Amino acid sequence: MVVLINDGMEKQKMRKHKVVIMGGGPAGLTAAYSLVQKGYEVILLEQEMQVGGQSKTIHYNGYQFDLGGHRFLSAYDDVLSLVKNLLGEELGTVPRKSSILFDGRLIRYPLKLEDVLRKMKLSVSARAVIDYCWEKLKNMIKEGPEESFEGWTRKRFGKTLYDIYFGMYTEKVWGVSPKTISADWARKRITSVNLMEVMKSLIGLKKQQGVFECSEFYYPSQGIGRIYEKLAESVIAMGGTIHLGSKVSEITLGQGGKIASVGYERSGDHCETSGDWVVSTIPLPEFISAIRPAPSEKIQQIARSLPNRCLRFVALLVDRSQITDNLWIHVPEKHIRFFRIQEFGNWSQKMVPEGKTVLLCEFACNKEDSLWNMEEERLKEICIQDLEKLGMINRAEVLEYRVEALEYGYPLYSLDYKEKLEILYDYLLSIPNIVAHGRQGLYRYDTMDHAMKTGMIASAIVAGDLPRKELIRTSEVTDQY
Ligand SMILES: Cc1cc2nc3c(=O)[nH]c(=O)nc-3n(C[C@H](O)[C@H](O)[C@H](O)COP(=O)(O)OP(=O)(O)OC[C@H]3O[C@@H](n4cnc5c(N)ncnc54)[C@H](O)[C@@H]3O)c2cc1C
């Protein structure tokens, strides 16, 4: 946006409003793209040497992988058309094929209960059906509690299915009892099923539809990170500035409580910049701890207490063209350390060299756990041993490996997370020139398209077209998949 200002001695001259954006993931890049399009001067600071954040693709020695395969879907027309325009023919659609590994058998996921009941031992299937009916009956007499993940899921699936899949898997991914996780997370990620309909289909009275979710999704042939590489190229082509390797370390408040400057470390130097607006997509706890003068002890303490699950990824280049036909496999059982396996040759053949595939094993942990601090070589060994236990590979087939990590992998919705966030969001609103958004900026279990949508909303807020509260309202939208 070009505005006229009077800057003292000089006559009026043209000046663009300047916006500093912190973080170059989907949320920050989309805000940058929208703002540059509107004519703003944009400077984006990204700590890594690559854009894309959690949605980047690692290109390594001729093969590629995402940090956990990323499906692109969107109910937002503007987000979808932006991605389609950026990617052109590089964007294809991929049919979803995923399973749960249970008791040595692969069961299709999203759960087609018909498949679950047929593939499980008869005694387990019978127990699942009885438990489901019992749960329904109990709830007809007296509605059971559903504020925790456990309560919500048991009520919809019964004890057996909860125990053998949802409970075990959730505990492995989050490292805490599902009793302490808010049901909001289940509401976002799991669609309940009507077991009566499933039973009718089992005895041939009804043809069962695939239960939850979509059957295909968008995916760029060279990995999800291509969307964000292209977005960054467009931002630069339109005149925006992106500084990679620039870690925000200090955010200084000045007159009227506005952010006066943003300090960042780049190639060993301390640099500073400032803008009329600051857009933050860096993790909320990091943002709060960078503010000078520091906010109240209460605000700092709440920000520090927001739990967060770290992720480590081991990618193995395997000398075989395909291991299974799944894109990913959930592994709930405790004796295997990783919780999911991705096979990138099935996402796109362009991700892997000819005749080979890439398996990516995903591990969840906390920062103080041995898994987080374990040497890469040791982690790779665990990975290979467990894949051998599952009968999926021979160690001799592993040609090379690469380990990656995400410190802020999953925000963990504890039972009191909403009250905590309300206090932090009020604090954010007390700083007149900040707009925080995205998965990290608002501590939200967000998908890429929603993070991008919030980038567009952030730009509308900066332009004065929407109130800042709009982002907080939008952060409550439930994901559709
Ligand atoms: C394992 C996994 C699988 C997923 N699968 C899907 C999927 O299938 N589909 C889907 O839609 N979504 C998926 N997601 C979610 C998706 O990755 C996120 O929604 C999206 O990346 C969020 O974008 P963001 O910009 O808000 O945050 P991020 O991607 O986290 O970007 C934040 C950026 O800020 C940078 N940063 C942090 N601190 C600083 C600092 N101090 N200074 C400068 N820069 C900083 C980071 O380096 C990063 O680049 C998945 C996430 C994970 C972890």
Atom 51, ligand 1: which residue's CA is nearest?
54
Outline where DSSP puts E strands in 233-273. Answer: 241-243, 246-253, 259-266, 269-273
pTM > 0.85: yes
DSSP-derived secondary structure letter, 90: G
Sheet of strand 277-280, all strands in order from the earlier edge strand to the far edge: 241-243, 41-45, 18-22, 277-280, 434-436
328 shares its domain with 377: yes
Mean pLDDT of the 193-211 span: 51
The tens digit of pLDDT for each residue in 274-305 reads 999 999 999 999 999 999 999 999 999 999 99
What is the model's pLDDT at position 15? 55
Among 202, 230, 245, the domain-final residue is 202
Ligand 1 geometric centre to CA of 447 (Å): 9
DSSP-derived secondary structure letter, 164: I
What is the model's pLDDT at position 11? 36
Q: Is the dihedral of CA 378, 384, 390, 395 positive or negative?
A: negative
Does the structure show a pLDDT above 50 at 456? yes
What is the model's pLDDT at position 161? 80
Q: Is residue 101 part of a domain?
A: no
Ligand 1 pocket residue status of 452, Cβ below 6 Å = no
Nearest alpha carbon to residue 118 among 131, 132, 128: 128
Please state whether beta strands 277-280 and 434-436 pair in parallel, antiparallel, or not at all (unpaired): parallel
Q: Domain range for residue 192?
A: 111-202
Confidence class for position 245, pLDDT limits 50, 70, 90: very high
The tens digit of pLDDT for each residue in 63-84 reads 999 999 999 999 999 999 999 9
425 shares its domain with 301: yes
Structure tokens given for 375: 């040497």
166 shares its domain with 224: no
Q: Is residue 96 part of a domain?
A: no
Q: Helices 417-429 and 297-305 meet at what angle, rounded to 10?
A: 130
Q: Is residue 481 part of a domain?
A: no
Give the CATH number, domain containing residue 158.
Answer: 1.10.3110
Ligand 1 pocket residue status of 68, Cβ below 6 Å = yes
Contact 284, 436 (CB under 8 A): yes
Amino acid residing at 481: Y
Work out the mean pLDDT of the chain and round it to a whole number.
88
Checking phi first, is residue 243 left (phi over 0); if not, alpha (psi -120 to 50) or beta?
A: beta
302 shares its domain with 314: no
Q: Is residue 63 part of a domain?
A: no
**3-state SS class at 84:** helix
468 shares its domain with 435: yes
404 shares its domain with 330: yes
Give the CATH number, domain containing residue 314.
Answer: 3.90.660.20
Residue with tokens 């730009």: 459
Does the structure show a pLDDT above 60 at 408? yes
Contact 92, 125 (CB under 8 A): no
Atom 37, ligand 1: which residue's CA is nearest?
282
Ligand 1 pocket residue status of 55, Cβ below 6 Å = yes
Q: For the beta carbon of residue 191, count every other beta carbon within 10 angstroms.
A: 14
Mutate which of 448, 454, 474 to test ligand 1's pocket (most atoms within 8 Å of Cβ)?
448
170 shares its domain with 83: no
The tens digit of pLDDT for each residue in 44-60 reads 999 999 999 999 999 99
| Total domains, the chain | 3
Contact 278, 291 (CB under 8 A): no
What is the model's pLDDT at position 9? 36
275 shares its domain with 320: no
Which percentage of the chain shows pLDDT scores above 90?
Answer: 67
Among 411, 435, 451, the domain-final residue is 411
The tens digit of pLDDT for each residue in 129-188 reads 888 888 777 877 777 777 788 888 888 888 888 887 788 888 888 888 888 888 877 776
Ligand 1 geometric centre to CA of 450 (Å): 11
Mean pLDDT of the 113-119 span: 69
Ligand 1 pocket residue status of 442, Cβ below 6 Å = no
Among 202, 230, 263, the domain-final residue is 202
Ligand 1 pocket residue status of 282, Cβ below 6 Å = yes
